Structure 1
């Protein structure tokens, strides 16, 4: 297919990738600002995350009702609260709560410049847990890539110095966030059929359960008492709502990018976005980073890129094997 004949398709590629980058990078920097400013003084990381999930729930309700009332609203599925679906989504929501909580704690302790390093092991845990939970075997090339990522994380998590302060607690939060992210991805695959393979319904159910799960956690952590005793200013609430909008929009732009390109291109885009995000954080915050930090990011970027390529080869082999089996079955049926 020539570029001229494929022009219509490529018109949707650039906007989808740009939207994904803007929303994803914007959300990370917004969360860091919320967690470092008034949020840090009040020490309310769980309350911030709860408000973002509540925003998603309210937006789902608004879009669902709006799509029924007027054609101006985008098509959105009808929402319900099926007890069976709620129970099936519960394990996913538990890992989702852990993922976003550890993500924010990692951002609060070490900032955006460490975020890429802290989350780099999510691929490693995804491969390991996919084998244990789903029984999916990976190639030797994938395991080598995982080893490279572990080396990169180890280099970037060296003890702190005066020139390069690093919270080891924040590094562990990043590690726990990676484990939770891997489990969240795995259980998303398992739970999605329970809601008719509809991503928006899964988003709805997951955030409804998450909002409920966060209530006792916020109470035990003292977030509610701190907010009640010292209510934040209006600007903080505005930023919090905007971050919730960004979080909700991420569901759409991620699916849009995958649809407009491919899952492989989405992974490449996400890897490049993370690297760019890290460099932006260093430049904007005027941070000084040692040689080992740069080496760590380069190793992780290489390992991530190699992993994407290795998975691409695996997918091609799987497709070729599937096609071969289908052709064999047709021949046997014909005979």
Structure 2
């Protein structure tokens, strides 16, 4: 009786922890999207340099981690930060693939957000689950059930329906849509690689965030030059305004928070759960965006959103049942042995 109660309490605590982290991820992610959109496209700011903004977010994130690291050494009783050396060549070699994906994901995210509305941002990045299935087959050679493939097909149909309906509006951008697709691919790969990279840093999310942002600072620099944003930044009329840098620092804090809670959610759940969580969050984000911007949409446009959400939820359920059956079969095989 006592053991059952203890096991029950342990499960309750685990689910509460997961619920809190998922809620934190949703809140942070939605806030980050709206802050970034304001910086990139609002009449008052209109920075127009998404790659530079991504780079600055990495600078702020790395600075936060560095400050935490120093404070933990000076005041260990107050601050706690895992020990690590970002300049270690072996560490750099192991974390670099994740940083490359992180750079691609964040850069494509902000580039997509520059050209599309916040409402369509969800549909533009809805193919993450489909890419996860493709990568699982290509990299791990693991086949997906027919039911899950049907769900992926429904997601693709929902995506194309959303694109078709969005193309009827004046804000549609093929460039933003392509960057959204690229971001979905990068996110699917990033989720898988994060789980692997956490093992290199003893499951320390803080340390992984520190390394990831520090390496991405260097990776973003040539992209700023190649994208032609250097001239945009130099000629920006509000470059010396205090309110502009306050907004940029806020965006940097948001960028740090979303990177941290993303790794944390993947750590306590799984890459698959994180992808589905992101899809469901984006649906809520779409509803908020249409109300906030007074953005009226057609019934077919909303149908595309519902199709993607329902198909993603069904995919998750089918995957959970498959994993449960596989676990039961392994248990039976172990007992027989």
TM-score tier (shorter):
0.7 to 0.9
Aligned to 2:174: 168
Cα RMSD (Å) of the superposition? 2.9
* CA deviation map 1:57-97 (0-9, x unaligned): 11111112222222464422113121122122222222221
Is 1:112 aligned to 2:118, yes or no? Answer: yes
Q: CA deviation at 1:301?
A: 0.8
User: TM-score, normalised on structure 2?
Assistant: 0.86
How far apart, in 2, do the equivalents of 1:289 and 1:82 lie? Answer: 52
Aligned to 2:73: 68
Q: CA deviation at 1:262?
A: 8.1
Is 1:27 aligned to 2:35, yes or no? Answer: no
Aligned to 1:302: 310
Moved more, 28-37 or 161-170: 161-170
Is 1:57 aligned to 2:62, yes or no? Answer: yes
Conserved? CA contact 1:195–1:202, under 8 Å:
yes
Is 1:279 aligned to 2:287, yes or no? Answer: yes
Is 1:195 aligned to 2:201, yes or no? Answer: yes
* CA deviation map 1:101-137 (0-9, x unaligned): 1111111111210111011101101110121112333
How many pairs align? 329
Which of 210, 220, 224 is the aligned partner of 2:226? 220
* CA deviation map 1:133-188 (0-9, x unaligned): 12333222221111111010010011656655311221111111111112222333
Moved more, 28-37 or 221-230: 221-230
How far apart, in 2, do the equivalents of 1:43 and 1:16 lie? Answer: 32
User: TM-score, normalised on structure 1?
Assistant: 0.87
Q: CA deviation at 1:269?
A: 4.5
Aligned to 1:332: none
Aligned to 2:320: 312
How far apart, in 2, do the equivalents of 1:60 and 1:229 lie? Answer: 31
Instruction: Say which SS state the counterpart of residue 84 (structure 1) adopts.
Output: helix
Please show how residues 75-224 of structure 1 align to structure 2 within 5 Å: 75-80=80-85, 81-158=87-164, 163=169, 165-224=171-230
Instruction: Say which SS state the counterpart of residue 164 (structure 2) adopts.
Output: coil
How far apart, in 2, do the equivalents of 1:179 and 1:39 lie? Answer: 32
* CA deviation map 1:9-62 (0-9, x unaligned): 676566444322221110111111111137974431111000001111111111
Conserved? CA contact 2:192–2:271, under 8 Å:
no
Unpaired runs of 5+ residues, structure 1, are: 330-335
Conserved? CA contact 1:127–1:138, under 8 Å:
yes
Conserved? CA contact 1:112–1:278, under 8 Å:
yes
**1:69–1:325: structure 2 CA closer, same or farther, 3 Å change rule?**
farther
**1:232–1:311: structure 2 CA closer, same or farther, 3 Å change rule?**
farther
How far apart, in 1, do the equivalents of 2:11 and 2:178 lie? Answer: 46
Unpaired runs of 5+ residues, structure 2, are: 1-5
Moved more, 263-272 or 301-310: 263-272
How far apart, in 1, do the equivalents of 2:79 and 2:247 lie? Answer: 25
**1:198–1:39: structure 2 CA closer, same or farther, 3 Å change rule?**
farther
Instruction: Say which SS state the counterpart of residue 79 (structure 1) adopts.
Output: coil
Moved more, 92-101 or 68-77: 68-77
